[in-house]
Amino acid sequence: MTSDVAVVAEALQGLPGQSSAAVLEAYSGAVMNTFGLPKRVFVRGEGCYVWDADGRRYLDLLSGIAVNALGHAHPTVLSAVTGQIATLGHVSNFFATPAQVALAQRLGAMTGAEQARVFFTNSGTEANEAAFKLTRMTGRTRIISTEGAFHGRSMGALAITHNPRYRAPFEPLPGDVTFVPYGDPEALAAVVDDTVAAVVLEPMQGENGVVVPPPGYLARARQICDASGALLWMDEVQTGMGRSGCWLVHVDEGVTADIVTLAKGLGNGFPIGACIATGRAAGMLGPGSHGSTFGGNPVAAVAGLAVIGVIERDGLLEHATAMGQHLADAILALGHPLVSGVRGRGLLRGVTLTAPIGPAVSDAALAAGFIVNAPRPDVLRLAPPLIITAPQLDTLVAALPGLLDTAAKEQS
Ligand SMILES: *Cc1c(COP(=O)(O)O)cnc(C)c1O
């Protein structure tokens, strides 16, 4: 009989033992081409490093897109997840588990609201989809979103996502959505009236290149919503869970939202998302109005509890704030002519460039053993694990001038 280990090993058809080139050749025929051909095949990770199929090591400054807050193979996540899956892996939402309830309590408390209830999902898109449905319970249908916003790719999440390239092939999209310029409270005030169900905002626009709104923008959005009875929906999928040096950026700025959506950093790579509703919104989705087979399953829930527990135990909010400042200061101190600034908070940072060489810098970085990305051509995004150290960040800073110069030369 085939051994337990061999069952999976045989299914992998020897791919793990092969070179990156061999795996990528098989990739094209087997996986849908929604991302273009990947640039590397990774087989192992530990702390802030990952290794590719050819044995090369990379410093991970992207964390699987702001996901692996505790880095790779974190022992606390490992023991929580393996312990839970060995005990009880899944029961569906016909039944409750202690882990799910404990995580809901922790997340609800983060909102700063007196009353909060959580709907668990498996991704950020689904968290926003749940929120979208919740807004319909107001009896209003209109939603205000912002230019540059990214909220996911399902039909509902896409309807509030701005990028015309993502939207156009799939129109008509659901809902009655109006986009206003991001960071402009007067533009918001001009459109929010008593027909508006909700205003959806990212506290910083991660996918748009870590765009930071002017101070007071979120507080002003809260006032505007209060004046018209609209719900304020904060999408903290990318910014939340410690990424920005605090649990939730809007709460850190003294704002209470009616709806908060979370995902990315919540499970350190284990798929989990959450739609949290507070106050009058907390009771809006009732029996039969929404559901999920997997959402909030106990394995994902303990991953979330492990992440929260380690961030607290190890002081990682303060550490992320300090490391983010160190990184920004060190990059600015280079005085490189291709860098015009560093924006963002904590360890969600956008390095703005004076030329559209971001993708070429990202390629040069990969060749030199660093994972970064360019969410737009003139911005590099850095979102390393929250456990990263100053000496690790300094290796990127030391390499950056060479990477920028290489990219600029290639593009000219
Ligand atoms: C990534 C992201 C999403 C979508 O999350 P998925 O887990 O990819 O579905 C939604 N909103 C924001 C702000 C994001 O950054």
- The string of pLDDT tens digits covering residues 213-238 is 999 999 999 999 999 999 999 999 99
Residue 329 burial (CB count, 10 A)? 11
Q: Does the CB atom of residue 237 touch ligand 1 within 6 A?
A: yes
- Ligand 1 atom closest to residue 238's alpha carbon, by position in its atom list: 15
Residue 155 Cα to ligand 1 midpoint, Å, equals 14
Q: Does the CB atom of residue 151 touch ligand 1 within 6 A?
A: yes
Q: Does the CB atom of residue 240 touch ligand 1 within 6 A?
A: no
Residue 8 Cα to ligand 1 midpoint, Å, equals 30
Q: Does the CB atom of residue 60 touch ligand 1 within 6 A?
A: no
Backbone dihedral angles phi then psi of residue 49, each to the nearest 5 degrees? -115, 150
Q: Give the strand order in the sheet containing 273-278.
A: 116-121, 273-278, 259-262, 231-235, 196-201, 142-146, 176-180
106 — pLDDT class (breaks 50, 70, 90)? very high
Residue 87 Cα to ligand 1 midpoint, Å, equals 30
Nearest CA to ligand 1 atom 5: 124
Residue 307 Cα to ligand 1 midpoint, Å, equals 18
What is the share, in percent, of the chain residues with pLDDT greater than 70? 99
E strand residue ranges, 184-308 = 196-201, 231-235, 259-262, 273-278
**pLDDT (0 to 100) of residue 14:** 65
Q: Six-digit token pair at 33? A: 């081409």
Q: Does the CB atom of residue 129 touch ligand 1 within 6 A?
A: no
- The string of pLDDT tens digits covering residues 57-69 is 999 999 999 999 9
5 — pLDDT class (breaks 50, 70, 90)? confident
User: Which structural domains are found in the chain, ordered by start?
Assistant: 39-68+315-411 (3.90.1150.10), 78-313 (3.40.640.10)
Residue in 212, 372, 393 with CA at minimum distance from that of residue 403: 372
Query: What is the C-alpha to C-alpha distance for residues 376 and 405, in angstroms, rounded to an integer?
Result: 19
pTM above 0.85, yes or no: yes
Residue 80 Cα to ligand 1 midpoint, Å, equals 25
